[in-house]
Amino acid sequence: MALLRYVGGQAPGSRFRRESTRMPWGGLYMELAKLELERLGEEAPALDRNVFRRALDHIARRLDCCDFSMAALLRMLYRYPDSALLDEDLRRRIGEACVGHIYWLTEPGEEDMCFCTENHQIVHHANELLAGQLFPDRVFTNNGETGEWHRQHAETMISRWLDWRIRLGYSEWNSNCYYDEDLMALPNLLDYAENPAFRQQSEGLLHLTLFHIAVNSFRGTFGSTHGRTYSQFTLNPHNEPTAVLGYLYWGLGYYRERLGPSAVMMATSAYRLPPVIARVACDEPAEMENRERHSLDAEEALEHGVDPGSLADIGFFWGAQLFDHRLVIDTSLELCPPKHNMYPRIKAFKDHQAEAERIGAPYDPDPDNTAMSQVNVYTYRTPDYMLSCAQDYRKGKHGFQQHIWQATLGDRAVVYTTQPAAPDLGRSRPDYWHANAFMPRAAAHRNVAIAIYRFDPAQSHMWFTHAYFPQFAMDAWCERDGWVFGLKGNGYVALRSLQPMRWAAPREDVSDLIRPVDAPEGWAPGPHELIALGPKNVWICELGNPASHGSFEGFVDAVAAADLQGDPMAITYESPSLGRVEFGWEGDLRVAGEAVPLGPYPRFDNPYCQAPFDTREYTIRCGDETLEIDLNPPGA
């Protein structure tokens, strides 16, 4: 209720409302909170008709992300049929938007919309289903088919999407922003799909998605490696949309700095979180290791019943953004109409591959910088810190939005490295602080992570790697013998670059992103960026706490004295806590002489859940709480 009151009660001109309504759909979720307050018998402010006007115009112009607006509007029609706030004129206009909309890229008509990504797929499909159910006999004017036709079309697409996520995880793995959009669609399916199988599967997938967040979070921060993210969320955990879900469901998270549309959707839903998942999020054993696997490589997909050559399965590969993989590209061209904005890209890669094959020249069969193929996620959590890494993930490949590793110590204290692709924030993907122009080979074991960068300077515009290390977020910090150390609560972090590193002057645009909502006038973050010049480098991170290293001073002494030998091809680090750690651009990660497996992992392997990859059955346990999830088809 506090969340709904806060969101619904924001006055015009407040910073929260200003930031939350920059996008046309944002304001609708604030209006949704008002409608729910009214439904619960509370006094609610009047709806802002300008918000609806802007969102409906966004839909009418068929612009990117208008599906997020449609998801909120459909929930309003279904959930608030008797609302005094939602008058008949607004209902009529929303209904006309539903029957005039374009729901898939193969429909006729011009548009500038994204249909293909994992999150957009399910939002579009859920919208089409709910609209078709509401208006089964109306002719939908864009393609001339009835609402019943659209319902059937959506059911086919939804059935595949849900099955892929249940069995194979998310290609946009552990995303602190795109899970927010998946959870715009799933509660609508849970609450309003007429098909009982969709309601059951949506509930089970909501359980699993929130379990992903719970087991990879530290004190309200979804500090996991992410398949897709943005700088505003990696630099400032209070900005994560998923942080609002953490606040809503287990009381660890943040909701005063940024709107979380999915949290508003969930707060207005019949969904109830199983207590065991909240216990997992709040559990603080001395140490917890989580290994989990998401997505597929194109080469292994057939083994899991997903065919790169089938139009029925192309949605999986587009959701993983493997549009131009050699095994996928012909099916991509078969699906994609020339009018669509993806067509020139796919056609260009196909022409390149065809010519290379004709003349016998080599080419990269897996060229997409957007690709989110098989990933093996490792997370190590203690009561004082968390470390997470995408193990040995697509080393040397161009990146897009993949966030490879992060150390999390609570509140705004996060540490990570990237090789930036562009100097801007927010316009490019990757930009200055999210993802990598060229991805490192990175691995983590327990409290130590190593990230090795090797890129061709002729193919980059930024000839350095850098680290985010926010001095202002630490209780104390210091430098010694090439290392930078931080203390937050009882958590310790140490970071070192093989190449010399220096502090960069704070940038105003970064300072704006990380400024707390309640910061006093004149607040400045101070230095937070460490730069190391050169195209080849190694970054080493070790974390600790009193249980493993004694005092912070003892941690500093031990790590500063640790021997570090090697180069960006092979490195040996004598960790005070783990012993000898060996890693390179090739070969195993070895700790104390033993090879550490970097994958493929099971679907989950942690103290709470052990499940093989490609399963529909999960058991989650914590303390005396147990949750059984069985999403097999009836009779299976």
Encode pLDDT of 378-432 as tens digits: 999 999 999 999 999 999 999 999 999 999 999 999 999 999 999 999 889 999 9
Q: Which value, to the nearest 10 degrees, does the dihedral of the CA atoms of residues 185, 190, 193, 198 take?
A: 100
pLDDT at 68 over 70: yes
Cα separation, 511 vs 13, in Å, equals 22
Q: Beta 405-410 vs 386-390: how paired, if at all?
A: antiparallel
What number is the average pLDDT over the span 330-348? 96
- pLDDT of 18: 83
Report the candidate in 443, 420, 439, 440 with the shortest Cα–Cα distance to residue 430.
Answer: 420
Give SS3 for 283. coil
Cα separation, 195 vs 190, in Å, equals 10
Cα separation, 590 vs 568, in Å, equals 16
Cα separation, 282 vs 266, in Å, equals 20
pLDDT at 636 over 80: no
Task: Compute the half-sphere exposure of residue 518: CA atoms within 13 Å on the CB side of its CA.
Answer: 4
Note if the pTM is more than 0.85.
Answer: yes
What number is the average pLDDT over the span 355-371? 98
The Cα angle at residue 266 between residues 211 and 10, in degrees rounded to 5: 125
Phi, psi torsion values for 137, nearest 5 degrees: -100, -5
Phi, psi torsion values for 625, nearest 5 degrees: -100, 140
In this prediction, residue 538 has a pLDDT band, given cuts at 50, 70 and 90, of very high
Burial class (CB in 10 A: 0-12, 13-18, 19+), 338: exposed
Report the candidate in 76, 180, 182 with the shortest Cα–Cα distance to residue 124.
Answer: 182
Give SS3 for 543. strand
Question: How far lies 530's CA from each of 51, 464, 475, in Å?
Answer: 42, 10, 18
Report the candidate in 557, 435, 395, 434 with the shortest Cα–Cα distance to residue 492.
Answer: 557
Other C-beta atoms closer than 10 Å to the C-beta of 354 total 11
pLDDT at 635 over 80: no
Name the β-bridge partners of 485.
Answer: 478, 494
Report the candidate in 389, 391, 394 with the shortest Cα–Cα distance to residue 368.
Answer: 394
- For residue 244 the two structure tokens come to 């609002």
Query: Do residues 115 and 125 lie in contact, with contact meaning Cβ atoms separated by under 8 Å?
Result: no
pLDDT at 257 over 90: no
Please tell me the chain's helix, strand, coil percentages from 3-state DSSP, rounded to the nearest 5. Answer: 35, 20, 40
In this prediction, residue 154 has a pLDDT band, given cuts at 50, 70 and 90, of very high
Q: Percent of the chain, pLDDT > 90?
A: 95
Q: Percent of the chain, pLDDT > 70?
A: 100
User: What is the average pLDDT score of the chain?
Assistant: 97
Report the candidate in 262, 270, 269, 220 with the shortest Cα–Cα distance to residue 241.
Answer: 262
The structure tokens 């929930």 sit at 75
**DSSP label at 217?**
-
- pLDDT of 518: 85
Report the candidate in 592, 620, 589, 593 with the shortest Cα–Cα distance to residue 604.
Answer: 620
| CB environment 539-554: b (16+ within 10 A), e (fewer) | bbbbbbbeebbeebee
Cα separation, 488 vs 470, in Å, equals 11
Contacts 24+ apart (CB under 8 A), 617-626: 618/208, 620/207, 620/211, 620/274, 620/276, 620/277, 620/280, 621/276, 622/276, 622/279, 622/280, 622/283, 623/276, 623/279, 623/283, 625/274, 625/275, 625/276, 625/279, 626/276
Helices (H), 519-581: 546-549, 552-560
- pLDDT of 9: 86
Question: How far lies 136's CA from each of 124, 128, 297, in Å?
Answer: 17, 11, 39
Rg from Cα positions in the chain: 24
- pLDDT of 5: 93
- For residue 96 the two structure tokens come to 């006309």
CA 82 to chain centre: 36
The Cα angle at residue 182 between residues 273 and 276, in degrees rounded to 5: 20
In this prediction, residue 606 has a pLDDT band, given cuts at 50, 70 and 90, of very high
Name the β-bridge partners of 413.
Answer: 410
Name the β-bridge partners of 209.
Answer: none
Give residue-wise pLDDT tens across range 235-255. Answer: 999 999 999 999 999 999 999
Give SS3 for 343. helix
Domain positions in the chain are 2-283, 382-600
What number is the average pLDDT over the span 341-369? 98
- AA letter at 93: R
Name the β-bridge partners of 575.
Answer: 579
pLDDT at 13 over 80: no
- With a CB cutoff of 8 Å and minimum separation 6, the contacts of 403 are 225, 226, 229, 234, 416, 434, 435
Cα separation, 342 vs 112, in Å, equals 10
- For residue 602 the two structure tokens come to 């099971």
CA 327 to chain centre: 26
The structure tokens 């200055």 sit at 432
Name the β-bridge partners of 628.
Answer: 619
Helices 118-134 and 88-99 meet at what angle, rounded to 10?
Answer: 120
In this prediction, residue 329 has a pLDDT band, given cuts at 50, 70 and 90, of very high
Give residue-wise pLDDT tens across range 580-596. Answer: 999 999 999 999 999 99
pLDDT at 22 over 90: no
CA 38 to chain centre: 32
Cα separation, 199 vs 411, in Å, equals 36
**DSSP label at 230?**
-
Cα separation, 268 vs 8, in Å, equals 12
